[in-house]
Amino acid sequence: MKLCLGTAQFGLNYGISNKAGKVAYEEVEKILDYCNNQRIYTIDTAQAYGESEKILGSFNLSNFRVITKIAHTGKIEDSLENLKLSSLYGILLHNENEIDINWQRLVDYKSQRLVKKIGVSVYSPDKLSSIIDKYPIDIVQLPLNILDQRFLFLLDKLKDKNIEVFVRSIFLQGLLLMDFCQVSDYFNPIKPILSKLPHDKLGFALNFVKNIDEIDGIVFGVTSKQELEEICTAYHKKTFNYSEYSVDDENMINPSMWRHL
């Protein structure tokens, strides 16, 4: 299964549609148990996700492949201590612009067998293109969803280079799942597109990425076991036609630019 549990909500009040806040400890336990039962064995976290790493480290993670993200000043040793692990499956630079000054450090982590795969989390297709031309990364995380289809043209090149591809923001922080009447006026430029989304928004959004062969992992976040169950059910639904939903305006599809919400 391509599904990969994202854990920003374990340590932060994350997502414009998240009304519940951080996930309670007891609910995290239920979520991890259900992931085990559903064979969802990859976890995505980051040092910037509040207490997420430490919360995860209070559970037995032996069945999971853990990928974390660090900033320029972050150290893999801190993540290993937080997660109570001796090594990680993957480590990504959280900022695509910091790879030049941190590449050798990532290589050293890999040579020390502290991590199996090294790479970067990206926001810009142009930046990703320049990175993979210069650095032999093993893994990349990029945004991809119904509206944000900017990276599709690079997927073949990534696979030609044997780079493992994880996609995030598949629900665009929950925007793609919200009732249309609750969507902020900030998104007025794309409301005509949002109004055309089918009733099964969850299945529609999830299956867009599920059926792209070049994608290895689909990172998603939940605030409850119930949400996780709904995602697992939707994962097995039919496919749709998505080309008419693509949006080019980065102010609409890049959450880091949503400053007026």
CATH code at 162?
A: 3.20.20.100
Q: Residue 239: what pLDDT? A: 61
Convert 192-253 into a string of H (helix), E (strand) and C (coil).
HHHCCCCCCHHHHHHHHHHCCCCCCEEEEECCCHHHHHHHHHHCCCCCCCCHHHCCCCHHHH
Q: Kindly report the pTM of this predicted structure.
A: 0.87
Range of the domain at 139: 3-257
Non-local CB neighbours of 236 within 8 Å, separated by 6+ positions: none
Tokens representing 55? 């919360």
> pLDDT tens, 116-148?
999 999 999 999 999 999 999 999 999 999 999
SS3 179: coil
Helix intervals (H) in the chain: 8-11, 25-37, 52-57, 76-83, 99-111, 125-134, 155-160, 191-194, 201-210, 225-234, 250-253
- Shortest CA distance to 43 belongs to which of 23, 26, 57, 22? 57
Residue 175 in this model has a pLDDT that exceeds 50 = yes
Domain count, the chain: 1
Q: Residue 18: what pLDDT? A: 45
- Shortest CA distance to 219 belongs to which of 1, 6, 2? 6
> pLDDT tens, 93-119?
999 999 999 999 999 999 999 999 999
Q: Residue 128: what pLDDT? A: 98
Residue 17 in this model has a pLDDT that exceeds 70 = no
